[in-house]
A and B are shown apart, each in its own frame.
Chain A
Amino acid sequence: MYKRVMDAVLTSDLTKRYGENEVLKQVSLRVRAGSLFGFLGPNGAGKTTTIRILLGLLRASSGSATVLGQEAWSEGHRLRARVGYLPGDVRFYDGMTGRSTLAFINRARRAGAQREIERLASVFELDLGKRVRNYSRGMKQKLGILAAMAHRPDLLILDEPTTALDPLVKQVFNDELRTFVREGRTVLFSSHTLSEVEELCDEVAILRGGRIIEANHIDKLRSRAVRRVEVVFSDHSPRPAPPGGLRVARDADGVLQAAWTGDVTELIAWLGRCAVRDVTIAQPSLEDLFLAYYADTELKKEELAVVEAHRMERRSR
């Protein structure tokens, strides 16, 4: 059945209100089956609320949410058999051991995932014999990962999954996720750490203030974002006026450092009219992307340019 579903997650005008407070505003999200989808946003943007609606833990005020072709609220318990979930703040029953916790989940799911539990425990080097109350935060996070992945779900929903994981474990985790996707499964990866989404995901949606402000392939998003430009001029002769999209942070001693937004054709044309010895146009990182999308709306464009210029100055130092 899964193979026939084109979209692992599909929401339409999803809205969630608590009294007067609207925390999700007409969120329309599409996660292609078999993709590793990044769900970006700062804390409080509404990522967890969206995820909880997808899992049937919250009921949407309006709009619709479909997961693996089933309605998230009314068919929640059925679709959860095919979904794995790692909450942002994962909690377990303190008195149980890691093994008994996973055994309980395995029994409740009727998953028969004992071999996979043992394999994952070995891969993540997690001691399942200890009581959860004696686990460190990182160990609890690993246990959460095992609980979410052991039954090999069609859709894996991860809410800030790498919190408390050390870099080596993160690498192991990323490898497991890539294997998951290679098997045709889908991963919805929520994070506010942009670098890990950049490393892992091929598609991304950015949520801000309860609204999806962008959803696209990471490459396309990058192409829209601010680029860092550094030009070393070969002489000090007068130059034609720079195009409007260039926000100059520093222009001294024949070196210009600036930020560029938009299509680079105009920039390249301008550079062609100048005596240039060297030029660097750096791809934006998702940090840059994030800044472009998340700059406070109260900030005027000029102020934003100043912020960006300061940031670039710091980087160049």
Chain B
Amino acid sequence: MNWAVIRKTASDSLLLLFATMAGIFVFEIVFCRVVEQMPAELGGGLLSQKWVKDIVRFLLGADLTELFTSTGVMTIGFSNSIVYALSFIFLLTTCSRIVAGEVDRGTSDLLLALPISRIAVYASASLVWIVACVPLSLMPILGVYTGTHWFQLKEPVEYRLLWLPTMNLLFLFWAVGGISMLFSALYTRRGPAVGVVIAVLIFSLMINFLAQNWSDINKIAFLSLLNYYKPLPLVKNQALRWDHLAVLSGVLATTWAAGLIYFSRRDIPAA
């Protein structure tokens, strides 16, 4: 690892990290306010609609009516398009910066002509986003914690149970980061590198959504990254899914290592 590269990557990522964290944090507070104001009958009524049920099941990985408590409802704050969009934008931006981004803007010559091995460059840049994922994944629970103190819900939230999806979310972020690093190492242009990862994520979302009502699709649901992040069942069963964490860890390790191997052997074209 090289301290100068770590420091530079961190300073390049800091502003976006804070903005992303703030965005998720504010969203969770707003979400608590919405839940506080929503009459219980309206929530129950909405959940009786099939299409609402499907969407909630797609987001949370289980039927919310099975755990229609404040804690169960709060898992929506851990798995929704705002949290995904903000955090994935951060990950894609940060992870595509050091290889594809550097080559794309022509600064790779400056960086890779330094006496730093490519392994050290890759590892130094990775350390930044791997560490950054920790505060990022804490934002939903911190937001819910703050929000539920400001806005009184009908019943108390069991925060200890919300640590379970928090942990799972961290592993999901790491897996997405690993995939982003792989495609960043494969490409010389940032656009395609980011585009492929977005396609992978959309594929995951689509599979997850379609699998709710389509048994054939359900057979290939294991291919979806989001299949291994289901917050509601974690809270309901009050236990981590170690198999899911193992899969996400495997995705991280495999893609990160493949990216490292490719990057350390590839040609770096001139600007």
Contacts and interface: CB of A to CB of B under 8 A. Distances in A.
Are these two chains actual partners, yes or no? yes
Contacts of B85: none
B270 A89 contact: yes
B113 A58 contact: no
Contact of A77 (B7, B117, B271): B117
Interface string B103-144: 001111110111111101000000000000000000000000
A52 B114 contact: no
B242 interface: no
B115 A91 contact: no
Interface residues of B, number: 25
Interface of A: 48, 52, 55-59, 76-81, 83, 85, 87-93, 104-105, 107-109, 147
B107 A55 contact: no
Interface of B: 2-5, 7-8, 105-110, 112-118, 120, 265, 267-268, 270-271
Contacts of A92: 107, 110
Nearest to A111: B115
15 contacts: A48-B270, A52-B268, A56-B112, A57-B112, A57-B113, A76-B117, A79-B115, A85-B109, A85-B113, A87-B110, A88-B270, A93-B110, A105-B114, A108-B4, A147-B110
Given A108-B4, A109-B115, 7 more contacts: A56-B112, A80-B114, A85-B113, A90-B110, A91-B105, A92-B107, A93-B107
A109 B270 contact: no
B109 A108 contact: no
B109 A80 contact: no
Contact of B5 (A55, A108, A147): A108
A93 B105 CA distance: 9
A19 to B, nearest CB: 12
Contact of A107 (B4, B107, B265, B267): B4
A280 B100 CA distance: 58
Nearest to B267: A58
Contacts of B270: 48, 52, 87-89
A79 B152 CA distance: 64
A90 B271 CA distance: 8
B109 A77 contact: no
A55 B8 CA distance: 23
Nearest to B114: A108
A81 B106 CA distance: 21
A116 B108 CA distance: 24
A48 B109 CA distance: 12
Q: Which 6 pairs across A and B sit closest by C-beta, in order of nearness?
A: A91-B106, A81-B115, A108-B4, A107-B4, A77-B117, A80-B115
Given A58-B268, A91-B106, A107-B3, A80 B113 contact: yes
Residue picked from A83, A89, A104, most chain B C-beta under 10 Å: A104
A89 B114 CA distance: 17
B81 to A, nearest CB: 31
Residue picked from A56, A57, A78, most chain B C-beta under 10 Å: A57
A110 to B, nearest CB: 8
A59 B267 contact: yes
Nearest to A55: B113
Residue picked from A48, A77, A85, A90, most chain B C-beta under 10 Å: A77
Nearest to B120: A77
B82 to A, nearest CB: 28
Contacts of B106: 89, 91
Given A48-B270, A52-B268, A87-B270, A57 B8 contact: no
A87 B271 contact: yes
Given A78-B115, A80-B115, A89 B271 contact: yes
Contacts of B3: 107
Contact of B116 (A48, A58, A77): A77
Residue picked from A78, A90, A91, A105, most chain B C-beta under 10 Å: A91
Contact of B115 (A77, A90, A104): A77
A283 B74 CA distance: 86
A105 B118 CA distance: 16
A170 to B, nearest CB: 22
Nearest to A107: B4
A20 B107 CA distance: 28
Nearest to B270: A48
